[in-house]
Amino acid sequence: MEVMYPKSSGLDVHLKFVIACVYVVNAKGQSKAVKRRFGTTTSGLRELVSWLQGHGIEQVAMESTGIYWKPVYNVLHAHFDVWVVNAQHVSRVPGRKTDESDAEWLTKLMQYGLLNRSFIPDEWQRDLRDLTRYRTRLIQEKSSGVNRLHKILEDANIKLSSVVTDIQGVSARSMIEALIDDEMDVQQMANLALGTMRPKIPLLVEALTGFMRPHHRYMLQEILQHLDELRDRIASLDRQIQVVCAPYASLVERLDEIPGVGGRTAEIILAEVGPSVEKWPTSGHLASWACVCPGNHESGGKRYSGKRRKGQKWLVSALVEAAQAASRTKNTYLSAQFHRLRARRGAKRATVAVAHSILTIAYHLIQKPEERFAELGGDFFLNKNKEQEQRRAVKMLETLGFHVALIPAPA
């Protein structure tokens, strides 16, 4: 096997130390592995840089172990061609695993070109990822807080959620605060309803009748304060993300035109994919990297499950959420695609397929900055092959016992 990167090194990274391995040639012309341990502090990593430079190293490979690779990458990437690789792709033979042997194995794989480097975005994009991912976590925590609010109300026999669509709305918030203050009767609390909720006052009187204890009031007060804090933190992150995304505001605006994709989803796509798609030759490569395409599992000429791989959870969750929103839009290509696939493959597979389409559209919008999103329409599949659709409709009616004669309508 040909050696492609002779001046390469493998690193086994841990929390407190990192083990480096290089191959040196002795006086007899034999290649020998030399390993050394360094600390992961900045001074220890600078010693690692000097040691690697002393051996003439040009490429460095290490596994993406949690977040421990980041301090090493921050120091080394200015001096070497650093490869961060997937740990699942470089697993060793069981029973022969030590820190030193892992570093030596990585070095061998790197020398023979058997590693695939992971995509490491620029510093600007990594900062944006931190912001969008933290905001996603806070939004998830807010949803959990709303569920806790439902739980406490149900425990107190308050059936407000069965009458009110949004328990975080203005009217529902006023009623919950009135329950906490315990200064109004049920009729007065129901009269706090505003707008379209006014006709529901008799139902609200029934729903607000329960058994509120001091414990319930205390829990409701704590949950409301927590939700208010989360709302403020999310709003602060929204403002900071808009500042960071300002150089690419036009791209975010064009991504926002895709059905189902809102402003936050467009910002997540920008954070995870980036303002350029040069890393992926085609949209299929991007879909494979994002894990929204069918998996390959074939053996003995038989194709098994095409379940997609697990990966890129931040981007996939945003795309799936956008696909679910797109499936509810009117007269759009994505909605037609969802309903067409759901009948044959089920709602979940149809949702992933629509997410794949959204990512493909985003790929082309990023690749061609001068283009904007063009809607194909909800009748795209009907017009794609009219004769086939006619035969299908006629066959269905004949199955139901009708004789069908097709008469073209006047233009």
pLDDT by residue for the chain (411 residues), tens only, comes to 788 998 999 999 999 999 999 988 877 777 888 999 999 999 999 999 999 999 999 999 999 888 899 999 999 999 999 999 988 777 766 666 788 888 999 999 999 998 888 889 999 999 999 999 999 999 999 999 999 999 999 999 999 999 998 898 999 999 999 999 988 889 999 999 998 899 999 999 999 998 999 999 999 999 999 999 999 999 999 999 999 999 999 999 999 999 999 999 999 999 999 999 999 999 999 999 999 988 877 777 787 777 888 878 999 999 999 999 999 999 999 999 999 999 989 999 999 999 999 999 999 999 999 888 999 988 888 888 888 888 888 899 989 988 888 888 887
**C-alpha of 307 from chain center:** 17
- Determine the pLDDT at residue 295: 80
Q: Helices 313-326 and 263-273 sit at what angle, rounded to 10 degrees?
A: 150
Dihedral over alpha carbons 73, 76, 82, 85 (to 10 degrees): -30
- Determine the pLDDT at residue 29: 72
Residue pair 68/13 in contact by the 8 Å Cβ criterion = yes
Distance CA 69, CA 11 (A): 10
Q: Which two tokens stand for residue 260?
A: 């189902």
Q: Which two tokens stand for residue 39?
A: 């600390």
Closest by Cα among 274, 359, 285 to 322: 359
DSSP, collapsed to helix, strand or coil, labels residue 36 as strand
Distance CA 212, CA 186 (A): 12
- Give the pTM: 0.87
Distance CA 224, CA 217 (A): 11
Residue 178 is inside which H or E element, if any?
Answer: helix 170-181
DSSP, collapsed to helix, strand or coil, labels residue 23 as strand
Which of the 8 DSSP states describes residue 296? -
Which domains are delineated in the chain? 8-111 (3.30.420.10), 133-244 (no CATH), 246-296+305-367 (no CATH)
Q: Which two tokens stand for residue 151?
A: 């739980």
